[in-house]
Amino acid sequence: MSKYVLVRQTRIEDIDIGHYEFDPQVTVYFFVINADEQIYLRYGGRDDESAESYLNLKSMEVALDRGLEQHKLWQEGKLEAPKRAAARFVKDYEEIRDGPLKRNNCVHCHMIGQGQTGDLMRAGKLDKQRDLWVYPDVKRLGIVLEAEKGLVVKDVKDAAKKAGLAKKDEITHLNGQSVLTFGDLQHLLNKVPRDATELELTVKRKDASEKVTIALDKLWRVTNIERRATTQRAEPFPEFWGKALTDDEKRAAGLKPKGFALKVTKFWVKTNAQAAGLKVDDIVYAVDGVEEDETTQSATLYIKLTKNAGDTIKVGVLRGGKKQELSFKLKARPW
Amino acid sequence: MKRTLAISFAVLSLALAALALAPSRAGAADEFRWFDKLDDGIAEAKKTGKPIFLCFR
């Protein structure tokens, strides 16, 4: 660390988040840059299982060493500066400008996601399928990385295996752009167009460079986005909160293994679903007759993705072993 | 008696040495200088020629 100038930025208001673009829904994120603000690499990122799947001291050490190598190249004039992205600040989001900034409160990173969704909705431009499936997971492509070694492949499955990616390959480029860390990889993966049908990885294999083209299916961006502020800010509010049943609980309840099954946990405020008769411990297993969806097993996420504020929906409810239907209108927000 | 005095002296010396070391250990975590603003970090990087570790927290 002594080879670096150390900056811990505690306020994001002055930061150009167009240039320093990052996943705002993570535990740790850092950049290695130079005095011209040229970004050498990013460190951070996560998957659905844990906020720390890709965070560890060894991979951080690898990243810091690579940062120094890049800096040396830059000092020797061997590193080109990419074009800087258009500037963007948190004050550019109406929701943040009129919210925390107006009240002189701290802007938390996840609020960037809320601001993005809020502003898109206000402009009538939110495309849920396009805008909410963010920061995809390489595991969805069949790539399991050795987290401590950065971008070394530990295991390959599915599309990645079919494409010829092999264990011990080290990913060096995505669609021709250099990646030095998992943070870089996830950042570029997020920029691959939603409707892309393939992506190209360049890998180092036994000191040779190989190209691998991975076919993308229509679900390649799917992760559990329900925890994200970008999703939570999206309308409508599903009118209830719940906890997913485990596979065993679903089996015991006689529900479909991959179907919706959300046990209502608590009503934080009075909701239309509660007024319609939904109770704590009820299990919601269907929405408008649909019991399963290829993108999610969460009934609440399904409602958010497919319904609008003002819609009246019917949910299938399992209570005391008996199925029944309840109908209620969806509001935009819980309060 | 002399033996007891010698042991006491040794114990006292050790305690004093530990006390003397204590502040430097407490400061070990702060041995790096952190800047709270990116602009200050950039100015330092220009002065020292070092790259910048920029952490958002």
Residue type, A244: A
Is B21's pLDDT higher than 60?
no
Report the residue from A1, A12, A37 with minimal CB separation from B53.
A1
Within chain A, where are the H helices? 57-75, 94-96, 110-122, 128-131, 158-163, 182-189, 229-232, 247-253, 272-275, 299-306
C-alpha Rg value of chain B to the nearest Å: 22
Partners of residue A203 on adjacent β-strands: A171, A210
Residue B14 above 70 pLDDT?
A: no
Token representation of residue A276: 């319609």
Task: Name the pTM for this structure.
Answer: 0.86
Give burial (CB, 10 Å; 0-12/13-18/19+) of A125: exposed
Q: Smallest Cα–Cα separation from A127: which of A140, A138, A116, A115? A: A116
Among A252, A235, A247, A324, smallest CA distance to A285 is for A324
Q: How far is B15 from chain A (nearest CA, A)?
A: 32
Best of B32, B53, B57 to substitute, by most chain A Cβ atoms within 10 angstroms, is B53
B51: which chain A residues are within 8 Å (Cβ-Cβ)?
3-5, 32-34, 40, 67-68, 70-71
State chain B's mean pLDDT as an integer. 71
Q: CB–CB of A94/A119 below 8 Å?
A: yes
Q: pLDDT at position B2, please? A: 52
For the stretch A276-297, pLDDT in tens is 999 999 999 999 999 999 999 9
B23 CA to chain A: closest CA distance, Å? 21
Give yes or no for B4 touching A (CB within 8 A).
no
Q: What is the pLDDT of residues A190-202, one digit of tens each?
A: 999 999 999 999 9
Pick from A206-210, A324-328, B1-5: least confident: B1-5
Q: What backbone phi and psi angles, to 5 degrees, belong to A176?
A: 85, -5
Residue matched to tokens 């959300």? A262
Question: Chain A contacts of B37, Cβ < 8 Å?
Answer: 7, 9, 14
Instruction: Tell me whether residues A35 and B45 touch, CB distance under 8 A.
Output: yes
Q: State whether A7 and B33 contact (CB < 8 Å).
A: no
Confidence of residue B20 (pLDDT cuts 50, 70, 90): very low
* Average pLDDT score over residue span A7-33: 92
Task: Identify the band that residue B8 occupies on the pLDDT scale cut at 50, 70 and 90.
Answer: low
pLDDT at A302: 97
**A109 contacts on B by Cβ (under 8 Å):** 56
- pLDDT given at position A335: 83
Which pLDDT score, from 0 to 100, does residue A153 have?
A: 97
Handedness of CA A247, A250, A256, A260 (dihedral sign): negative
Give A214's strand partners.
A199
Burial status of residue A201 (CB atoms within 10 A of its CB: 0-12, 13-18, 19 or more): buried
pLDDT at B25 over 50: no
Is A15 in Cβ contact with B52 (below 8 Å)?
no
Number of other residues whose CB lies within 10 A of the CB of residue A232:
15
Q: How confident is the model at residue B6 (pLDDT cuts 50, 70, 90)?
A: low
What is the pLDDT averaged over residues A125-144? 94
Confidence of residue A145 (pLDDT cuts 50, 70, 90): very high
Q: For residues B19 and B12, what is the distance between their CA atoms, to the nearest angstrom?
A: 10
What is the interface size between A and B, counted as CB pairs within 8 Å? Answer: 94
Give B49's contacts in chain A (Cβ within 8 Å).
75
Which pair of tokens denotes residue A80?
A: 């080109």
Residue bearing tokens 């659905």: A48
The amino acid that residue B51 corresponds to is P
pLDDT at residue B27 tops 80 = no
Helix (H), strand (E) at residue A202: strand A198-205
Question: How many Å lie between the alpha carbon of B46 and the closest alpha carbon of chain A?
Answer: 6
Percentage of chain A modeled with pLDDT above 70:
100
Which run of H or E residues covers position A209? Answer: strand A208-215
Contact A301, A315 (CB under 8 A): no
What whole-number distance in Å separates Cα of residue A117 and Cα of residue A123? 10
Average pLDDT of every residue of chain A: 95
Distance CA A120, CA A82 (A): 28
Nearest CA in chain A to B31: A2
- CA of A13: which chain B residue's CA is closest? B37
Strand duo A241-244 + A262-266: pairing: antiparallel
Partner B, chain A 7-46, Cβ-Cβ below 8 Å: 7-10, 12, 14-15, 20, 22, 28-35, 37, 40
Mean pLDDT of A48-75: 94
Q: Which residue has the higher pLDDT, A209 or B28?
A: A209
Residue-level pLDDT at A287: 98
Cβ within 8 Å, pair B57-A8: yes
Nearest CA in chain B to A10: B57
Contact A15 B38 (CB under 8 A): yes
Position B16 confidence tier, pLDDT thresholds 50, 70, 90: very low
